[in-house]
Chains A and B, each alone.
Chain A
Amino acid sequence: MIAKEHWRDNMSDPNKIGKEVIELNERLYREGATDGLPVVPPTDELVAEMLRGTDLPGDHVLGHLGNREDPLTVERLAANGVMAGCRPIHMPVLVAGGKALVDPASNSMSFSVSTTGWAYLWMINGPIRDDIDIQSKSGAFGPGFRANRTIGRALGLAYRNTTRIYPGEKDMATLGNPFKYSLLAGENEEQSPWEPYHVSEEDYDAEESTITLAGPSCYISWTPYRNEPEYILEGMIDHMDPYMTGSGGHKTVWQLLCPYSAEQLGNAGLSKQNVKEFVRDNSYVDASKYARGKYQDREVERNDPRDIPSRQLPQISDTESLKVLTVGGAGTVNATVGPSIGGPVTKRIELPENWDDLVEEYTVTPDWIKSSQFFE
Chain B
Amino acid sequence: MTSAPPDLGSDPASGRRRLLRFDRVERATHWCTALLFAILMLTALPLYFVQVESLVGRRELVAQIHTWAGVALPVPLLLSLAGPWGAGLRRDIRRVNLWRADEVRWLRTLGRQGIARPDKFNPGQKLNTLFTAGAIVVMVATGSILKWYRFFPLDWRTGATFVHDVLALGIFLVVAGHVLFALTHPGALRSMFRGWVTEAWARRHAAGWLAESEAGWLAEDEAGWLAENATPATDDPVPDALP
Q: Do A and B bind each other?
A: no
Residues of A within 8 A of B (CB): none
B residues at A contact (CB < 8 Å): none
